[in-house]
A and B are shown apart, each in its own frame.
Chain A
Amino acid sequence: MDLLAQADNAVDGLKALGAGLGYGLAAIGPGVGIGLVVGNAITAMARQPESAGMVRTTMFLGIAFTEALALIGFVVFILLNFT
């Protein structure tokens, strides 16, 4: 096989590898973070059911902010893989 073509294949493969690893690594932190947010929100709701509505809204906000990091990882994955 042509050496140049091989190098090209290698670059493509590394790109795919990097994209996959990047997304997986980017998902770790937000996964833990969302777990913490929701877990604490449930504790708060169980302790004070009367403020459950406010806690739920704040929980969704927290999830949205935390999730943004994972989504940026996903976007990087798309950028690397599909361009």
Chain B
Amino acid sequence: MNALSGLLAASEGESSNPIIPAWFEVVWGSIAFFLLLIVMWKLALPPIRRAMEARTERIQGDLDAAATAKTEAEELRASYDARLAEANAEAARIIEEARAQAEEVRQERLAAIEPEIAERRAQAEADIAAARERAMAEVRADITSIAVGAAEQVVMASIDEAAHAQLIEDYIERVGN
């Protein structure tokens, strides 16, 4: 049954109280512990603590620098934004001014040109009326002279009814041509 005790290879000596420390174990344990303490204190820990502190400082420094950079960037951006808004307002103002000026100029020009147009229109209307008068007079004179001529012809050939008709016919044809 005691396969377990074989595995454990435990002591065959008299069983002592487990509460009482065994001296030889205290000796080896103390040697191990004080060696560990000395190695840790003098050799292993200082460089590691230095490195950890250096890294902490560096990370903190990086974080601080990043925070500073961020604040600066934000300030810069705020100033850019302000300037942009200013420029936009300025541009809007200039455009508005230009538009007002253009409108003013247009109104002025319009006002200046109005009487001239009216004058020219009156002139043109008078010209048309005169031309028409002249033409009417000419036409009337022509028709009179034609009628006189036709009457002469009729009077001259009144003997013959047929000749009379022929004459009128001829005359009209002539005039028509």
Contacts and interface: CB of A to CB of B under 8 A. Distances in A.
Instruction: Tell whether A and B belong to one assembly.
Output: yes
Interface of A: 75, 78-79, 82-83
Nearest to B20: A83
| 5 closest A-B pairs by CB | A83-B17, A78-B18, A79-B19, A75-B19, A82-B18
Contacts of A75: 19
A73 to B, nearest CB: 13
B15 interface: yes
Interface of B: 15, 17-19
A2 to B, nearest CB: 25
Given A78-B18, A79-B19, 7 more contacts: A75-B19, A78-B19, A79-B17, A82-B15, A82-B17, A82-B18, A83-B17
Nearest to A76: B19
9 contacts: A75-B19, A78-B18, A78-B19, A79-B17, A79-B19, A82-B15, A82-B17, A82-B18, A83-B17
Contacts of A78: 18-19
A79 B19 CA distance: 7
Contacts of B17: 79, 82-83
Counting chain B CB atoms within 10 Å of each CB, the highest count among A78, A79, A83 belongs to A83
A79 B17 CA distance: 7
A66 B122 CA distance: 123
A83 B15 CA distance: 8
Nearest to B17: A83
